[in-house]
Amino acid sequence: MIAKKSIKNLILAVLFALPLFATASGSSEKGEEKKFDVVEMIMHHIADSHEWHLWGEGEDAMTIPLPVILYTDNGLVTFLSNEFHHDDTGHHIVTKNGMNFVRNHGKIYQLNAGETSVKMEDHHITNGSKPLDFSITKNVASMFISIILILLIFTSIARSYKKSLVPTGFAGLMEPLIIFVRDDIAKSLIDEKKYMKYVPYLLTLFFFIWVNNLLGLVPTGANLTGNIATTMVLAVLTLLIVNFSGNANYWKHIFWMPGVPVPMKIILAPIEFVGIFTKPFALMIRLFANITAGHIIILSLVSLIFIFQWAGTPSMLLAIFIMILEFVVAFVQAYIFTFLTALFIGMAVEDAHH
Amino acid sequence: MDLITPAIGLVFWVTIAFLALVIILRTAAWKPILGAVKEREDSIKNALEAAENAKKEMQNLHADNEKLLKEARAEREAMLKEAREIKEKMIADAKGEAQEQANKMIAQAQESIRSEKQSALAELKNQVANISVEIAEKVVREELADKDKQLSLVDKMLGDVTLN
């Protein structure tokens, strides 16, 4: 028991400490060369990227190259992101299929036909356009890792149940969460007869958000759930599921609210109609803002060291505290997103009881 | 502004990957896991119900036993009572018979005593008559010799008579 506990503590300590070192090492050299720009460093860390940065700066940076997939007027173009040679200022030109590509501030531009050099005005490229970028970015790669992890975990749990109905090992750890989602989220919010239909989706949603929130806290990890695109997709799926599940009673409550006088019905209809969209919109913003804010706080506290030098070291304690808080937030946000999705579904499929 | 502008690539990949995850997990994970959990919950529920039923049955059985026991006790009581009555009756009967027998015997005895007594009285009467004759004979004989002697003889004879 003691050995087990100390191993657990060690793992926790390493987990908490690593991202701090990782983010620190990512920017330390920069500080010596030029003035340390906190905003730029933080924005760089929470933004998506075409390569998986590990450490180092500029040409010395250690990164894992990821595939770039561009949909141009002349069809798909693919190449590895290391062809940009870590350039993010629009100077290094990559030529593929007779088209010239440059990268500027994380965006890939295709230079107009015939142009061989970049013309810039106020950091904006004037002689190029942005092709549709379907690259396997850091966030996409991280999501694939999370999906592989989730598949491995839950298919192995499913197999363990085939051997015995008694949960053992990892199944014992996950079963309370699965039952929690089934009973405390789905069953308590959605009609007794209809809830089982939505449980698989809610379970997937919950574990997808939770695992990706946690992966976002891992050193050098991506900020998938803190990206507005991810939360938008999840919110739109909630919107679609809720409205396609909506029964006559649900639509009646939106367009002709029962139990109120006719003038109120007319006033309430547009409000309720807008509500269809504001609910998932709030879901999108909530998850995005919570996770991104957490990352920004941790990075800010770590940045204090580069601003105040030795005097800034106590901020490490605060950073560790926020990191622990973020582990809680990772769970809570996954719970809230799933809970509210179930709540909206529950409202949409509820039978009339007036 | 980049921060709140969804990138088309990420939207595309998240949509595809997440929906694929939902579809795969639905069949590969959630169905077997939720099925197993449900099966286990049902079996626990059934086991509890079965235990409850068994308990109830036990109670019923217990009540039945109690009833049987009560009946058996009542029967035993009845049997004992009957036996006691029979016994008492037998004793009473026997007593009555014995009494009758005894009465009969007493009556017989009295009868025989009375007949014995009469025969004894008759014999006594005969003997007294004989003795009286003998005495009278001796007295007559003695009187012939001496008057005094005759008298003393009579006395003596009388004394003998009483001894007999």
Inside any domain, residue B3? no
Q: Looking at residue A192, what is its pLDDT?
A: 87
Inform me whether the pLDDT recorded for A24 exceeds 50. no
Kindly state the average pLDDT of the residues A334-343. 96
**Residues of A with Cβ-Cβ distance to B42 under 8 angstroms:** none
Inside any domain, residue B4? no
- CA dist., res. A8 & res. A184, Å (int): 29
**Residues of A with Cβ-Cβ distance to B2 under 8 angstroms:** 43, 47, 105-106
**Residues of B with Cβ-Cβ distance to A292 under 8 angstroms:** 3
C-alpha angle B13-B17-B20 in degrees, rounded to nearest 5: 145
Between residues A256 and B83, the one the model is more confident about: B83
Q: Show me where the domains of chain A are located.
A: 63-135, 139-349
**Token digits of residue A227:** 């990206």
C-alpha angle A114-A117-A123 in degrees, rounded to nearest 5: 125
- CA dist., res. B52 & res. B50, Å (int): 5
A–B CB contacts, 8 A cutoff, strictly below? 129
Position of tokens 């992101």? A81
- Using a CB–CB cutoff of 8 Å, tell me whether A284 touches chain B: no
Interface touch A157/B12, C-beta < 8 Å = no
Determine the structural domain holding residue B98 and report its residue range: 15-163
| Nearest Cα to Cα of residue A141 among A246, A227, A77 | A227
Inside any domain, residue B1? no
Residue numbers of A between 204 and 223 with CB closer than 8 Å to B: 204, 208
Inform me whether the pLDDT recorded for B152 exceeds 80. no
Per-residue pLDDT of A99-116, as tens digits, reads: 888 888 888 888 887 777
Phi-psi region of A132 (alpha: psi -120 to 50; beta: other; left: phi over 0): beta
Inform me whether the pLDDT recorded for B153 exceeds 90. no
- CA dist., res. A217 & res. A284, Å (int): 20
Surface-to-core class of residue A84, CB atoms within 10 Å of its CB (0-12 exposed, 13-18 middle, 19+ buried): buried
Compute CA B80 distance to the chain's CA centroid, rounded to the nearest angstrom: 4
Inside any domain, residue B6? no
Q: Give the Å distances, CA to CA, from B87 to A333, B90, B96.
A: 93, 5, 14
Q: Give A230-289 as a DSSP string.
A: HHHHHHHHHHHHHHHH--HHHHHHHHS-TTS-HHHHHHHHHHHHHHHHHHHHHHHHHHHH
- What pairs with residue A121 in β-bridges? A124
Inside any domain, residue B8? no
Kindly state the average pLDDT of the residues A184-205. 92
pTM attached to this predicted model: 0.74
Q: Looking at residue B21, what is its pLDDT?
A: 96
Inside any domain, residue B55? yes
**Residues of A with Cβ-Cβ distance to B5 under 8 angstroms:** 228
Per-residue pLDDT of A121-166, as tens digits, reads: 777 788 888 889 999 999 999 999 999 999 999 999 999 988 888 8
Between residues A281 and A42, the one the model is more confident about: A281
Inside any domain, residue B5? no
Total domains, chain B: 1
Maximum separation of any 2 CA atoms in chain A, in Å: 71
